[in-house]
Amino acid sequence: MPEADLLAQSDTVVSDPEEVSLVLAAKPASRGRVIWRRLQHTPRFWIGAVVLVLFVLWAVFGQLLTQWSPTDQDVDNMNYPPTILHWFGTDILGHDLFSQIVSGLQKSLIIGFIAGPASTLIAGVLGATAGYLGGWGEKTIAWVIDLLLVLPAFFILILLYPFTKGSWVVMMIFLAVTGWMIMAQVIRNQTRSLREREFVKAARYMGFGTWSVVRRHIIPNVASLLIIDATLGIAAMILAETSLSFFGFGVQPPAVSLGTLLADGQSAATTRPWLFLFPAGTLILLLLAISLVGDALRDAIDPTSGVNRA
């Protein structure tokens, strides 16, 4: 490996000749270790990660902190502001808002952590396969991608709403299969350049099949893009589910989500602000935490991305 590459992998600035020789003599760190070292020195990564972990713990153990379930009604304290008995207040029917937010947060995290990576997986497989095949195979997959990109994903999800039958699990599947097209285009373009590289040609000449080459040689070389897309896709899927539920095309009563809570509380945002501010604050902080982690991960994988944005 050239000396310049070895020095580029070191995070320490060295000027003394002896220190330079020590750096060159040291075994170069793996890519994963270099990325982790960069993340360790990125404050926004730690802020986002800590907040995200707290949200996950809240979603998992939050119901243990209150005596109320999302469907319980306290008829003696209906439409009450936050109190010792109801930390986030109650709605017009006496439902405990804290418990309902925990229930909605659970659905949001499940949908985000499953639908986001699943969408990225579809994009990686189809994009890499299309870029590697070329010819009619690539044209067919590209035609499907372009056709799906003509209609906004949100509009497609609204059209598919009758088939969900009110199930948020089915909606999660629909979110995954309608959110992969843009990244698939990116992966296809990257693969078209990779398929002419020597290691890909060597694998093809050795008799490896299409899927074997894609799985062993193409996808690992675009893994950085996929990791970033999967991370940011979590926030995108949470926001998509919230938007659908807000407009009545997602989670349906008696189940609750952050979107349904926002829809119920928007009319009372000025008169009973707790009904709107607590769900909105939860959603904003959750999306901000995921975005901070994704942004830090992008800069750690590609240090030039921050320079390009500046």
Residue-range domain boundaries for the chain? 45-309
CA atoms within 13 A on the CB side of 123: 29
Q: Which of 236, 237, 281 is nearest to 261 (CA)?
A: 281
Q: Which of 45, 21, 36, 33 is nearest to 291 (CA)?
A: 45
Q: How high does pLDDT run on average in the chain? A: 82
Q: What is the pLDDT of residue 29?
A: 58
For 45-309, which CATH class? mainly alpha
The model's pLDDT over 194-252, given as tens digits with 9 standing for 90+, comes to: 877 888 878 878 877 777 888 788 888 888 888 889 998 999 999 999 998 888 888 88
Q: Is the pLDDT of residue 72 over 90?
A: no
Which amino acid, 65? L
Instruction: State how far the Cα of 124 lies from the Cα of 119, in Å rounded to an integer.
Output: 9
Residue 78, Cα to own-chain centre: how many angstroms?
A: 37
In sequence order, the β-bridge partners of residue 96 are 90
* Residue 133 near residue 140, CB atoms below 8 Å: no
- pTM, whole model, 2 decimals? 0.81
Length of the chain, in residues: 310
Q: What is the pLDDT of residue 255?
A: 83
Q: Which of 114, 109, 169 is nearest to 289 (CA)?
A: 109
- What is the mean predicted confidence (pLDDT) over 72-95? 87
- When pLDDT is cut at 50, 70 and 90, the band that residue 140 belongs to is confident
The model's pLDDT over 166-201, given as tens digits with 9 standing for 90+, comes to: 788 888 999 998 888 889 988 988 888 887 788 887
Residue 89 CB-density burial (10 A; 0-12 exposed, 13-18 middle, 19+ buried): buried
H or E element at residue 286: helix 274-301
